[in-house]
Structure 1
Amino acid sequence: MTSIIENSPLFELRADIHVAAAPSEIYAVVSDLPRSGEWSPECQGGEWISGAPAAVGSVFRGENLRSEEVVAWAPLVRGVWHTESRVTAAEPGRTFRWMMLSHAGDDQESVWGFDIEPAEDGDGAVLVHHFRMATATAGIHKIVADLDEAERAKFIDEWTSKIAQDLDATLGRIKTIIEAA
């Protein structure tokens, strides 16, 4: 029997929101990863550790914080931890994406991003936030290593819900920040 962890993509989610601002204004905010603590439920911000800020190939070191309540029964990293990611797309006014790196600095098929699309009414733009994990990362494998298949399915279901909530929360916060400026 194949495990749910072998599904590809393992996660693929997106959310969108209308923002009353020009695509260039939206892009300037979402590509400023050190500011992500202002809108992310988990990433508290961080710093660029190589390359020009927000340029393709540049690496960002993020500081993250996860509470005990998040999928409380699962063996997740709790408290503060750090991640590194590499920018994979940076098209001002259109798209900004980054790929999570393993602890060894290798690419993982775990990509976060924002796309900015014209609003149908011509006023402002639609900001799309998305996440795709094509194959389970080393971190996911570690989380589910001691879980039986029913627990693995429960974890994937609850983690999918958590990501969906985080995407929505992030977009709401970004909209508020941009429209208040």
Structure 2
Amino acid sequence: MDRSISDESPLFELRARVDVSAAPEDVYAVVSDLPRSGEWSSECLGGEWVSGAPATVGAVFRGENLRDESVVAWAPVVRGKWITQAEVVAADPGLTFRWAMRDTSGNRQQSVWGFDIEPTEGGCTLTHHFRMDRATEGIRGIVAEMDEQEKRRFFSEWGAKVEADVTATLERVRAVIDKG
């Protein structure tokens, strides 16, 4: 039996970088404030911390999201508004902030988003990254009825969408920081 693209690991590993004219601690204060993510995210409208001390390891964030109808329009992805939960898995002020998406049972999935910050002479370099080792509950549902060719097409198009989102997010974060 041939191995499916759905079984590959990592399924996605994306990153982009941007230079920011601000101190690493100031950049960290912005990117770790997930309720503000609607100011820079392509899909997350914002949300609230629902457990734990905000922006600390183990804290859980409930996000409200919105996806346009045109996103990989042929595939059965969630459209309109939906809710997610994410758990902070790394919180090192001025250096790194990461969160793992949770499934509907509240278990951490192998889908981790984050920001890394490196000091530079004029401020810092901000890296936004996403890694999905194994297909999440949502991805498994999307591709469940697809043949292998459709799965490959979906993963290609979804990867391009997420890559564009990561880059756009960085530019929006930089604009928020530049505004002060």
Provide the TM-score with structure 2 as the length reference.
Answer: 0.98
Superposition deviation, residue 86 in structure 1: 0.5
Using the alignment, how far apart are the partners of 2:102 and 2:176 within structure 1? 28
1:97 is matched with 98
Using the alignment, how far apart are the partners of 2:169 and 2:137 within structure 1? 25
Provide the TM-score with structure 1 as the length reference.
Answer: 0.98
Superposition deviation, residue 60 in structure 1: 0.2
2:174 is matched with 175
Using the alignment, how far apart are the partners of 1:31 and 1:138 within structure 2? 25
- Secondary structure in 1 matching 2:140: helix
Cα RMSD of the aligned pairs, angstroms, is 0.5
- Does structure 1 conserve the Cα–Cα contact (< 8 Å) formed by 2:46 and 2:64? yes
Q: Does 1:163 align with 2:162?
A: yes
Superposition misfits of 4+ residues, deviation over 6 angstroms = none
Superposition deviation, residue 152 in structure 1: 0.3
Using the alignment, how far apart are the partners of 2:136 and 2:166 within structure 1? 20
Using the alignment, how far apart are the partners of 1:49 and 1:162 within structure 2? 29
Superposition deviation, residue 118 in structure 1: 2.0
2:135 is matched with 136
1:6 is matched with 7
How many pairs were matched up? Answer: 179
Using the alignment, how far apart are the partners of 1:138 and 1:24 within structure 2? 34
> Please, which runs of 5 or more residues in structure 2 have no aligned partner?
none
Using the alignment, how far apart are the partners of 2:99 and 2:29 within structure 1? 15
- Does structure 1 conserve the Cα–Cα contact (< 8 Å) formed by 2:23 and 2:119? no
Amino acid at match of 1:14: R
1:52 is matched with 53
